[in-house]
Amino acid sequence: MEEFVIEGGNPLRGEVTPSGNKNAALPLLAACLLTSEPIVLHNVPHIRDVLEMRKLIESLGASVEELDGNTWRITTRELVASHLDPDQCRRIRASILIAGPVLARAGGLRLPPPGGDVIGRRRLDTHILALRALGANITYDRVFDIKADELHGADILLDEASVTATENAVMAAVLAKGETRIRNAASEPHVQEVCRFLNILGAKIDGIGSNTLHISGVTSLKGGEFTIGPDLLEVVSYVGAAVVTRGEIKIRNAGVEHLEMVRLVFHRLGVNWQVDGNDLIVPAEQSLVIASEIDGAVPEIKTNVWPAFPTDLISIAITVATQATGSVLFHDWMFSGRMYFTDKLVGMGARIILCDPYRVVIQGRTQLYGEKLESPDIRAGMALVLAALAAKGKSRIRNVSQIERGYERVDEKLRSLGANIERVIE
């Protein structure tokens, strides 16, 4: 098993460019199944989850040609909607995303339950209800049996603003007969990317960026070319790494237009950055003092659906808060297992109270110390990397393959910024 060995205390300095957005790349690869014509995707991140999705669509008949390391040509002349390998589907949560496109193009499939991070229960009901509204017949007996003689437009009110359920519904609806309206749709930047990509292929989607999407079904989609935008979660992770090490970095092509809410939240932790075009500059001088509420109360940072503060960034924010002066309550109501990684920060010296599975109180600033750690999931794993970079002494982080499901060449990029991080085989 590979692990990272990190000697903390080195301020990060230099420039870094984020990889393509994992949460856009996965549904975009699934959407390639909707057409028989070639599609070229640029800025594809070379990470484990994306490579697993590649294997999945190849098992369904897609041909993937690497024009270079991050540019792929995908062609699915014939779709083979056979029974999928359950082990393959369990490796990534995003395997659920093939339901919409395969249903739309082939009329059905048998889909084993998806896997993914162990951060709490992640319901699939919203996907099923949306596809049923479009005309699918779906039963479940350890495997989802999904069929439709014909998909038809529908007025769909999602029972939660699920990102992947929105993407599944959109991918099915673009080839459905008639008009579809999706209300309470997720509107994250990666959902917007999927919709813009589908429109390039000939789909007719209006309302992109809002929580109501209007889709006029078409009979077929053509090929096309698309560049995946920067991974905003990676951008903010490097912001956090610079802040906790008292470093100064520039992040190129940072997608700054989508970071305003994150900027507001980090400002409450005493973190500021500057914007130069589409680049983001983290200065070395940071106050790192947690701002109380106007009445003096301990502030609460709470996750919510876009454009609020995203759940995937709360682990990074928690690590940053351990290095800021003051108290703050973090509340992630979405996932019951998201906060459990904080016991590892406590073992490094952080003062944290786990109130319940959804809430923690951080009392900073504390000196962190090197420790032997294990990455429990993608985002918590990266948060532990940040903690190790800030710590006094040496840390060893096992199970780094979890981190590499979402971060491309993370150790190389951190080394280029001056971090003392090495990859070793245990």
Alpha-carbon span 181 to 199, nearest angstrom: 16
Domain ranges of the chain: 2-19+230-425, 22-227
Q: What tens digit of pLDDT does each residue of 225-271 get?
A: 999 999 999 999 999 999 999 999 999 999 999 999 999 999 999 99
Domain 22-227 coded CATH 3.40.50.720: no
Task: Report pLDDT for 122.
Answer: 54
- Count of Cβ atoms closer than 10 Å to residue 80 Cβ: 12
Q: Of residues 337 and 165, which shows the higher confidence score?
A: 165
Residue with token string 């992109």: 208
Query: Over 80: is that where the pLDDT of 138 sits?
Result: yes
Burial 274-287 (b: 16+ CB within 10 A, else e): eeeeeebebeeebe
Residue 119 banded pLDDT, cuts 50, 70, 90: very low
Task: Report CA-CA distances (Å) from 55 to 21, 50, 196, 252, 378.
Answer: 19, 9, 25, 31, 20
Burial 172-208 (b: 16+ CB within 10 A, else e): bbbbbeeebbbebbbbbbbbbbbbebbbebbbebebb
Q: Is the peptide bond before 18 cis (omega within 30 degrees of 0)?
A: no
> Do the domains 22-227 and 2-19+230-425 match in fold?
yes
Percent of the chain predicted with pLDDT > 70: 97
CB 426 within 8 A of CB 399: no
pTM summary value? 0.94
Alpha-carbon span 52 to 93, nearest angstrom: 10
Least confident of 245-259, 291-305, 330-344, 386-400: 330-344
Mean pLDDT score, 13-22: 98
CATH class of 2-19+230-425: alpha beta
User: DSSP letter string over 311-358?
Assistant: GGGHHHHHHHHTTSBEEEEEE--S-TTGGGGHHHHHHTT-EEEEEETT
Query: Over 80: is that where the pLDDT of 83 sits?
Result: no
What are the tokens at 280?
Answer: 């983001």
According to DSSP, the β-strands at 279-282 and 248-251 are antiparallel
Task: Report CA-CA distances (Å) from 183 to 122, 169, 195, 207.
Answer: 21, 11, 15, 10
Task: Report pLDDT for 376.
Answer: 85
In the residue annotation, 117 being an active-site residue is answered as yes
Mean pLDDT score, 353-379: 94
Percent of the chain predicted with pLDDT > 90: 87
Task: Report pLDDT for 254.
Answer: 98
CB 147 within 8 A of CB 172: no
Mean pLDDT score, 24-37: 98
Query: Over 60: is that where the pLDDT of 117 sits?
Result: no
Name the catalytic one among 68, 85, 87, 117.
117
Alpha-carbon span 292 to 290, nearest angstrom: 6
Query: Over 50: is that where the pLDDT of 336 sits?
Result: yes
Alpha-carbon span 240 to 390, nearest angstrom: 10
What are the tokens at 247?
Answer: 């470093």
Q: What tens digit of pLDDT does each residue of 97-110 get?
A: 999 999 999 999 99
Mean pLDDT score, 61-79: 95
Task: Report pLDDT for 82.
Answer: 65
Nearest to 18 by CA among 237, 321, 192, 227: 237
Query: Over 50: is that where the pLDDT of 71 sits?
Result: yes
Q: What tens digit of pLDDT does each residue of 275-328 get?
A: 999 999 999 999 999 999 999 999 999 999 999 999 999 999 999 999 999 999
CB 371 within 8 A of CB 348: yes
Mean pLDDT score, 151-177: 97
Average pLDDT, the chain: 94
In the chain, the amino acid numbered 318 is I
